[in-house]
Amino acid sequence: MNNKTLYQKEVSLQVDRRRAGVQLIKIISDLWYDKSIEMVLFKNQLLDKNVSDIINLHQYAGEFVGKPISIFDSVEIAKVILSLDFPPAKLDLGKLTYEYQLEEEKYPDARYFVMDKLKKAKSSKEIQPKDVVLYGFGRIGRLLARELMSKTGKGNQLRLRAIVTRDKIDSVILEKRASLLRHDSIHGNFQGSVTADPKNNALIINGTTVNIINANSPEEIDYTQYSINDALVIDNSGAFTSEEALKKHLISKGVSKVLLTAPGKGVPNIVYGVNHNEYNPDDTAIFSAASCTTNAITPILKVIEDSLGIAKGHLETIHAYTNDQNLVDNMHKKYRRGRAAALNMVITETGAGNAVAKAIPSLEGKLTSNAIRVPVPNGSLVVVNLEVKKATSITAVNKIMKKYALEGELVEQIKYSLNNELVSSDIIGTSAPAIYDSNATIVSKDGKNIILYIWYDNEYGYSHQVIRLAKYIAKVRRFTYY
């Protein structure tokens, strides 16, 4: 075959791939808006992606599993799912395509394959939608609002109905709130519409009314006046972190559950995927989603504890600066945090080591921890230095991590990175709370000491963990296939 013929063949294949990408985008959209079926590709969101994104995600998936993932097979499987009668679900098209390519000979066609793999979906329970109130509207609150509103679909899971702020509401303040939701210096513009409605003290987000409520204390609000009932309050204000303080939300009319987006005192601290099943939403009213760092390291430590055993270790967090630090040198109640955040690396304390033990009791007293705030606005890293009970190797550790990232109960929590050039800006916008840097792993000669590098988007990844936990608390988790 001469070079000209080879080139024409490559161009023709590329055109076919792009056509398949266009077809897949249409099917993914129809599944979401008509059937509330969300499609991902090895945890990567497929909704609202362009053709190049779709093709690149298939290439990444192939590198991840060590076998090409055919976009043509993905289209075939997606078509079958669209044609069948499934309840609301979240399905990993990448995993399904990979399995189909491995097991194709066992089935007459893709339809029989899909029906077999997703047969449990038929028995999933009907979901009752849950009203959600965001108490606070800072960095995490706005990301939660973005995600909740962009994934509303047919509105049969979490419904954002109101946002509570402490400042008085007027047309200027309302427009500033709307602008902060529309534009974000780190995460870019919101891919939707946001309009201020001063007449009704509301924001119109993607055509849906979200009430803006002014209150100085939770118990003074009557949410039923806004037709909000049996609501889940997600407190991201930072003002209430103890059980006693958070109980004030339950005094409000129209509230049944509370979720804190910070470590809580006297309430269950939960890392979704690790210890959420230990708490029944029917028996508990107040929950904590722990911290962003705890959500990043706990899934990784669980994998190592279950696979190799942990004798002891140290966690060093290299964390983006946060809003509680000063822009320029000024007074601060904590040492060092008063120095200019964007100019200095700042050593500070973290309770991550103790927090992990709340989710994994076997690690009680085995971990120390510290933190360094660094001059980046988002994107953090934990250096996990562990002495393990079973000798291991770099290859073995990476194999263990890839297995957990590919299958099991932690696939949403752990992303396995193959990128040799990975830096902090690359991980912004990653929904997994822990990104395992496979190329940075270090293991001592005797195999008893391992050093792991775990990246995390301390805003976006954590927000997704909050939503995963919120769905569990609200009992609106759909059938999932990962």
Can you list the alpha helix ranges (DSSP code H) found in 2-157?
A: 3-35, 51-65, 71-83, 93-103, 110-117, 139-150
First to last CA, the chain: 41
Average pLDDT, the chain: 93
Beta-carbon contacts of residue 66 (< 8 Å; ≥ 6 apart): none
Write phi, then psi, for 372 (nearest 5 degrees): -130, 120
Separation of alpha carbons 176 and 227, rounded Å? 26
For residue 226 the two structure tokens come to 């806004």
126, pLDDT greater than 80: no
**Is pLDDT above 80 for 154?**
no
- pLDDT at site 172: 94
The one-letter amino acid at 227: S
Catalytic residue among 149, 228, 290, 292: 292
Residue 113's pLDDT is: 96
In angstroms, rounded to a whole number, what is the distance separating the alpha carbons of residues 271 and 291? 9
Matching residue, tokens 């079958």:
80
Phi and psi torsions of 247, nearest 5°: -65, -20
Residue 164 confidence (pLDDT) above 90? yes
In whole angstroms, what separates CA 482 from the centre of its chain? 15
Which residues make beta-bridge pairs with 253?
222
The dotted CATH code for 130-267 is: 3.40.50.720
Whole-number CA gyration radius for the chain: 23
- Checking if the pLDDT of 375 tops 80, the result is yes
Q: Structure pTM?
A: 0.92
Distance, in Å, from the CA atom of 56 to the CA atom of 283, rounded to the nearest integer, reads: 44
- Could you read off the pLDDT of 27-54 as tens digits, one per residue? 999 999 999 899 999 988 999 899 999 9
Strand bridging mode 380-388 / 310-320: antiparallel
CA 11 from centre of chain: 37
Among 261-265, 387-391, 477-481, name the most confident range: 387-391
Active site residue 97: no
pLDDT score of 153: 74
Which pLDDT value is given to residue 5? 76
- 292-459, what's its fold? Dihydrodipicolinate Reductase; domain 2 (3.30.360)
Tell me where in the chain the CATH 3.30.360.10 domain(s) lie: 292-459
Please give the Cα distance from 63 to 57 (Å, whole number).
10
Confidence of residue 296 (pLDDT cuts 50, 70, 90): very high
Is the pLDDT reported for residue 95 higher than 80?
A: yes
The pLDDT confidence band at residue 1, using thresholds 50, 70 and 90, is: low
Q: Could you read off the pLDDT of 440-456 as tens digits, one per residue?
A: 999 999 999 999 999 99
Can you give 356-383 as a three-state secondary structure string? HHHHCHHHCCCEEEEEEEECCCCCEEEE
Residues of the chain with CATH 3.40.50.720: 130-267
Average pLDDT over residues 47-75: 93
Q: What are phi and psi of 385, to 5 degrees?
A: -110, 110
Each residue's pLDDT tens digit, 341-368:
999 999 998 888 888 999 999 999 999 9
pLDDT in tens, 195-251: 999 999 999 999 999 999 999 899 999 999 999 999 999 999 988 999 999 999 999
- Consecutive H or E run containing 243: helix 243-251
pLDDT tens track for 299-333 = 999 999 999 999 999 999 999 999 889 999 999 98
The share of the chain scoring above pLDDT 90, in percent, equals 83
Write out the two tokens for 40. 């991902």
The pLDDT of residue 124: 72
